[in-house]
Chain A
Amino acid sequence: MVTDRSPALDRVFHALAHPARRAILRQLTNSERNLSELSAPLRMSFPAASKHVRVLERARLVRRRIVGRSHLCRIEGEPLADASKWLEGYREVWERSYAALDELLEEMKVKERRKRGNDPS
């Protein structure tokens, strides 16, 4: 099995899979917001928003601090950066292979043209 399979990163992808949670993250991109502020634009009940924030917290994408009765949420960027780095690496491996395939196909096309050129029929 994979040596350090990461349940942490599984949680990130699960968290990102829901559009409401992505919307919450977008709202938090530049500022801290409390739960009421997060639930209003999504027309979501407070408990529903809280549930989504809990999923985001478990994925360590969002951190919550409680000030009086306010639950202030802010985005934590690092897990997202890690996830996208992996995917970029996976992509780079495949892009390298397909770039080599592009070159091979050019070679094959030249050979085909030469073959057809030599064939009088």
Chain B
Amino acid sequence: MKNKLTIAARGDREIVMTRDFDAPRPLVWDAHTKPELVKRWLLGPAGWTMPVCEIDLRIGGKYRYVWKKSSDGHEMGMGGVFREVSAPTRLVATERFDDAWYPGEAIDTTELAERSGKTSLTLTVEYESREARDGVLAGPMSSGMEAGYDRLEELLFSLKGTKR
């Protein structure tokens, strides 16, 4: 199995990511659902830590993540509610960022399939509208501007003083 990340738009409102892992499914499930493990890898760009990682893993339970940029202390929070918890196969939760960088709420569906001790992960993020989804893919850039990785870091994780 190749371990390459694919990202693609699907239908009107979805972004689908796939990635394979050289590990059995129960381990990949645990890495996605135990807070002490999630904070080890769900890091975002370089220079950010994850001081808050709370997971109440049950239908109707809440999760909350907060990332913090080490250089200036800026924080980015997000969270949601679990809609489906089917270990070790399927996890469905809502998602909303404190400083919204897309309109409304999204629904994250994580699906794990195992073959010969290796796991395929599919993460589907469904946005409220096509515009919201396209905005995530297109990114908050004005035409003609250079958007380096630093700028992505700024915009993705620290939207301050947003104006519309």
Contact = CB atoms under 8 A, between A and B. Distances in A.
A91 B7 contact: yes
Interface size class of B (residues with CB under 8 A): 35 or more
A22 to B, nearest CB: 14
Q: Please report whether the interface of chain B is mostly helix, strand, loop or mixed according to DSSP.
A: loop
Contacts of A41: none
Interface string B23-45: 10001101100000100111111
B116 to A, nearest CB: 14
Interface in A82-113: 82-83, 85-87, 89-98, 100-106, 108-109, 112
Interface of A: 1-6, 8-10, 12-14, 60, 78-79, 82-83, 85-87, 89-98, 100-106, 108-109, 112
A104 B138 contact: no
Given A3-B140, A94-B7, 9 more contacts: A2-B101, A3-B155, A9-B141, A86-B147, A87-B139, A93-B152, A94-B17, A100-B40, A108-B27
Q: Which 8 A-B pairs have the closest CB atoms?
A: A86-B139, A89-B152, A8-B143, A100-B41, A105-B23, A9-B138, A101-B41, A2-B140
Contacts of A103: 41
Nearest to B21: A105
Contact of A93 (B45, B136, B143): B45
Nearest to A83: B138
A95 B148 CA distance: 16
Contacts, number: 143
A5 B140 contact: yes
A108 to B, nearest CB: 5
Nearest to B151: A89
Interface stretch (B70-78, B88-96, B107-115, B156-164): B156-164
Residue in B141, B146, B152 whose Cβ sees the most chain A Cβ within 10 Å? B141
Contact of B31 (A1, A6, A105): A105
B52 to A, nearest CB: 17
Nearest to B44: A93
A13 B134 contact: yes
